[in-house]
Structure 1
Amino acid sequence: MAPRPKNSAAPAKGDSQASTSKSGKATKATTSTRAKAAATKTAATSKASAAPTKAVPKASAKATKSTAKAAKSDATAKKPTPAPKAAAAKTKVAATKKAAPAKKPAAAKPAKNANGKRPIDENDEVENDEPHHASAEESEPRPRKRARAAATEEGPTGWRKQVVLKRRKRTVVNNPVPTTLLDVFVFGEGSSGELGLGSTRFEGKKPIDVKRPRINHNLSAEKVGVVDLACGGMHAVALTRDNRVLTWGVNDDKALGRDTTWAGRVRDAGAEDSDDDDDDDDTGVNPLESTPTEIERGELEDSDIICKVVATDSASFLLTTDGFVFGWGTFRGADGIIGFAKDIRVQPTPMLIAPLQDITNIVCGSNHVIALDVNGKVWTWGSGGQYQLGRKPVTRHGGPTTTLQPQPCGMFGKRHFAVDIAAGSYHSFYVDNQQRVWSWGLNNYSQTGHYEDTGKDDAMVLQPKLVDSLAEADIGMIAGGEHHSVARTKDGRLLTWGRVDGHQVGQPATLFNEDNTMFDENGRPRILLRPTAVPDIDAKFVAAGVDTSFAIDTTGRVHSWGFSANYQTGQGTTDDIEVPTVIDNSAIRSRQIIWAGAGGQYSMLAAEHKADGSPAVNGN
Structure 2
Amino acid sequence: MNAVPLPAAHPRPPRQVFVFGTGDMGQFGLGTLVLDEIPQPRLHSWFESAAESGILGGPGAGVERICTGGMHTLVVDEQGYVWSWGINDHASLGRPTSNVLDPDNPQEILEAEILETQPMILQSLVDEGFRAVDVAAGDSVSVALGDRGEIRVWGSFRASDGLLGFDGKPGSPKTQSIPIALPSLSNITFVQVACGTDHVLALTAQGTVYVWGNGQQAQLGRRIIERRKVNGLSPERLALRRIKLIGTGSYHSFAVTETGVVYAWGLNNMRQTGVSVELGGDEDIIWSPTEVTALNPERLGNGRRVVQICGGEHHTIFLLSDGQVYGCGRCDGFEVGLADDHPAMIELRRRTPSSDSDILDEFIAEPTHIAFPPPPTARKPNPPVPAYSRSLSISPPSNPIAHISVGTRHNLAVSRNGDIYSWGVGSSCQLGLGATVDSQQVPTRVVCEALDSWFVEDAAAGGQHCMLLAVPV
Q: TM-score, normalised by structure 2?
A: 0.79
Counterpart mapping for 1:351-362 below 5 A? 351-356=180-185, 357-362=188-193
Q: Distance in 1 between matches of 2:309 and 2:349?
A: 20
- Could you tell me which of 230, 236, 243 is aligned with 1:407? 236
User: What is the CA-CA distance between 1:523 and the residue it aligns to?
Assistant: 4.4
- C-alpha contact 2:428 2:438 (8 A) present in aligned 1: no
State the match for 2:18 in structure 1: 185
State the match for 2:246 in structure 1: 421
Counterpart mapping for 1:313-462 below 5 A? 313-343=139-169, 344=172, 345-356=174-185, 357-394=188-225, 399-412=228-241, 417-452=242-277, 459-462=284-287
- C-alpha contact 1:568 1:602 (8 A) present in aligned 2: yes
Q: Distance in 1 between matches of 2:47 and 2:420?
A: 21
User: What is the CA-CA distance between 1:287 and the residue it aligns to?
Assistant: 1.8
Counterpart mapping for 1:221-260 below 5 A? 221-223=51-53, 224=56, 225-260=62-97
State the match for 2:7 in structure 1: none
State the match for 2:29 in structure 1: 196
- C-alpha contact 1:516 1:528 (8 A) present in aligned 2: no
Aligned residue-pair number: 398
State the match for 1:305 in structure 2: 131
CA shift digits 1:174-233 (9 cap, x unpaired): xxxxx9942100011101000111112xxxxx4421010001111223333321111110
Aligned residue for 2:124, secondary structure, equals: coil
Aligned residue for 1:222, secondary structure, equals: helix
Q: Distance in 2 between matches of 1:222 and 1:485?
A: 38
Q: Distance in 1 between matches of 2:350 and 2:307?
A: 25
State the match for 1:286 in structure 2: 113
User: What is the CA-CA distance between 1:455 and the residue it aligns to?
Assistant: 7.5
In the alignment, is residue 526 of structure 1 matched against residue 362 of structure 2? yes
- C-alpha contact 1:324 1:353 (8 A) present in aligned 2: no
Aligned residue for 2:449, secondary structure, equals: coil
User: What is the CA-CA distance between 1:519 and the residue it aligns to?
Assistant: 3.0
User: What is the CA-CA distance between 1:532 and the residue it aligns to?
Assistant: 1.5
Counterpart mapping for 1:548-567 below 5 A? 548-567=410-429
Residue identity matched to 1:486: I
In the alignment, is residue 504 of structure 1 matched against residue 329 of structure 2? no
CA shift digits 1:519-574 (9 cap, x unpaired): 37724771112212122442111110000001111211111001111000000134
Q: Distance in 2 between matches of 1:559 and 1:238?
A: 22
In the alignment, is residue 216 of structure 1 matched against residue 44 of structure 2? yes
- C-alpha contact 2:17 2:467 (8 A) present in aligned 1: yes
- C-alpha contact 2:407 2:461 (8 A) present in aligned 1: yes
Q: Distance in 2 between matches of 1:575 and 1:254?
A: 31
In the alignment, is residue 543 of structure 1 matched against residue 421 of structure 2? no
Aligned residue for 1:510, secondary structure, equals: coil
State the match for 1:176 in structure 2: none
CA shift digits 1:265-312 (9 cap, x unpaired): xxxxxxxxxxxxxxxxxxx991210100112417x7533222111111
Name the CA shift for 1:180/1:406 in 2 (closer, same or farther; >3 Å).
farther
- C-alpha contact 1:308 1:319 (8 A) present in aligned 2: yes
Larger Rg: 1
Aligned residue for 1:509, secondary structure, equals: coil
Segments of 5+ residues of structure 2 without an aligned counterpart are 1-11, 57-61, 101-110, 373-398
- C-alpha contact 2:19 2:468 (8 A) present in aligned 1: yes
Q: Distance in 1 between matches of 2:44 and 2:112?
A: 17
Residue identity matched to 2:356: N
State the match for 1:99 in structure 2: none
Q: TM-score, normalised by structure 1?
A: 0.61
- C-alpha contact 2:274 2:281 (8 A) present in aligned 1: no
CA shift digits 1:90-113 (9 cap, x unpaired): xxxxxxxxxxxxxxxxxxxxxxxx
State the match for 2:4 in structure 1: none
Counterpart mapping for 1:41-52 below 5 A? none
Name the CA shift for 1:518/1:556 in 2 (closer, same or farther; >3 Å).
farther
Q: Distance in 1 between matches of 2:225 and 2:26?
A: 35
Residue identity matched to 1:592: F
Q: Distance in 1 between matches of 2:152 and 2:350?
A: 42
Counterpart mapping for 1:33-182 below 5 A? 181-182=14-15
Q: Distance in 2 between matches of 1:421 and 1:454?
A: 20
> Normalized per residue, which structure has more strand?
2
State the match for 1:495 in structure 2: 326
State the match for 1:156 in structure 2: none
- C-alpha contact 2:81 2:131 (8 A) present in aligned 1: no
- C-alpha contact 2:245 2:307 (8 A) present in aligned 1: no
Residue identity matched to 2:175: V
Aligned residue for 2:231, secondary structure, equals: helix
Counterpart mapping for 1:600-619 below 5 A? 600-608=463-471, 615-616=472-473
Residue identity matched to 2:233: L
State the match for 2:9 in structure 1: none
Residue identity matched to 2:291: L
Name the CA shift for 1:190/1:517 in 2 (closer, same or farther; >3 Å).
farther
Q: Distance in 2 between matches of 1:480 and 1:207?
A: 26
Q: Distance in 2 between matches of 1:557 and 1:603?
A: 15
Aligned residue for 1:445, secondary structure, equals: coil
User: What is the CA-CA distance between 1:496 and the residue it aligns to?
Assistant: 1.4
Q: Distance in 2 between matches of 1:518 and 1:393?
A: 35
Residue identity matched to 1:193: G
- C-alpha contact 1:390 1:410 (8 A) present in aligned 2: no
Which 10-residue stretch deviates more, 581-590 or 216-225? 216-225
Aligned residue for 2:52, secondary structure, equals: coil
Residue identity matched to 1:569: L
Task: Provide the alpha-carbon RMSD of the alignment.
Answer: 2.3
Residue identity matched to 1:339: G
Aligned residue for 1:506, secondary structure, equals: coil
- C-alpha contact 2:149 2:191 (8 A) present in aligned 1: yes
Aligned residue for 1:389, secondary structure, equals: coil
User: What is the CA-CA distance between 1:517 and the residue it aligns to?
Assistant: 8.2
Residue identity matched to 2:40: R
Aligned residue for 1:236, secondary structure, equals: strand
